[in-house]
Amino acid sequence: MARTQLTEYIQNDLDKQKGISIPVRAGLPERLLVRSVSCKNLHANADDEFTVESVGPSERIIGEYVAKFSDAIKLNIYPFDEPLTVEKLRPHGYLILNGHHRWVAAMRCGIKKVPVRIINCATESDIKTLLENSKHDKRVAIDLDEVVFRSSDYPYIEKKAFMFPLSLRFKQRVRLGIPALFYYLVKHGYDIWVYAADYYSIDDIQKFFKAYSVHVDGIITGIEKHRQNMNEKSLKMKELIANKYKLTLHIDNNSVLETNRDTESFEEHAIDSSGEDWSKNTIAIIEEIEKRAGKK
C-alpha cells in the first residue's frame, strides 16, 4: 500500500463510516476476551491527526514499524510490543484511538490480525448529562497517572482493594490517603474529575475507585491525544466544564491551584509533604480555602 493508496484507503474508510458508525460501550466479556481484531475491522479516527490532510500519516514512523515487524516475522517472533487501543463501533468494527501507524504497517507486512485493547471512553453525551445533573459549583481536577496511581514499590500506598478481573488491567496502586481525600471532597460538595494522558476504560476506573469505597464524577482519558488534536468539539466540552463550576482546584504532587471562574483569579498553594502526610496536608489546604470562602 503506497502513500497515494494509503491516503485513498483512509479517505474511503472515513467516508464509509461517516453518518453510519457511532461509538458504543463494549461489555466486560468482550473487553476481556477479544484480544485481537482483523485489520479490516479497524477504522481510522477522523479526530486523530493521522487523518488530518495537513499532517497525515508519517511515512517515517510507518517505515520503522514495517522494518520492525518484518524482522520479527523472519525470526518467528511476535511483532507487537503492545496492543492498539480501540473503541467499539456500531454497527460493526472498532475505532482506533491509539495505533494508526502500527495498523498501516501491519497491513503493509501482510499481517491479518493485530492485538487490541478495547476501552469505553466518556462520550460528549455522558459529560453533558453529568454537568446537567450535578448540583455542585465546585470541582477538583486530579491526574491519575501523575498523582493518584503509584507503583507497588512506592513506600506510601493504600492496601490493594481490587481483585480479578481489575487486577489484570491495573497494576498500579493508589497513593496513601487518596480515598480519605476523595471522601472529604465529596462530603464538602466537590465534583471529582480525574484525568489521564493514557487511555483507560471509564468502566474500569469507576470500578477501581468503588473498590476503595470512593466515588469519581468525570473521567477523561487520552488527554495527550486531546492536546494534540484540540478540535472544535473538544474545545466546546472544555468550555462547558469550565463554565459549570465557580471554583476549581487542580491538585498535583506539589501544589493545589485554586481558580475562581467569576473573578478570573487563581492562587497556588504549596503542599508541604510528598510522603505519608501528602493527603493530610492537601486536605488542610482545602480546609483553609473553604474557610476563606465562607468569610466572603
- Write the pLDDT tens digit of every residue in 153-195: 899 999 876 666 666 667 778 999 999 999 999 999 999 999 9
Examine the fold and report which residue of 118, 134, 160 is the final residue of a domain before the chain moves on: 118
pLDDT band at 123 (very low <50, low <70, confident <90, very high): confident
Write the pLDDT tens digit of every residue in 107-119.
999 999 999 999 9
Q: Are residues 176 and 133 in the same domain?
A: yes
Q: Which of 118, 151, 181 is the last residue of a domain?
A: 118
Residue in the structure block whose three cell numbers are 468525570: 218
- The three-state secondary structure class of 88 is strand
CATH number at residue 66: 3.90.1530
Both 236 and 104 in one domain: the answer is: no
Q: What is d(CA 234, CA 96) in angstroms, rounded to the nearest whole number? A: 18
Alpha helices in the chain (DSSP H): 3-17, 28-33, 59-74, 100-108, 124-133, 166-169, 178-187, 202-210, 223-228, 232-244, 278-295
pLDDT of the residue at 172: 78
| Structural domain count of the chain | 2
pLDDT in tens, 55-98: 778 899 999 999 999 999 999 999 999 999 999 999 999 999 99
Highest mean pLDDT among 8-12, 91-95, 208-212: 91-95
Would you say 179 and 228 are in contact if contact means Cβ atoms under 8 Å apart? no
The grid cell for 207 is 470500578
Residues 154 and 215 in one domain: yes
* pLDDT: which is higher, 280 or 160: 280
CA separation for the pair 82, 85 (Å, rounded): 9
Query: Average pLDDT, whole number, for the chain?
Result: 88
pLDDT higher than 80, residue 230:
no
The partner residues of 116 in beta bridges, in order of sequence, read 84
Co-location of 265 and 179 in the same domain:
yes
Domain that holds residue 66: 3-118
Q: Out of 118, 137, 171, pick the residue that ends a domain.
A: 118
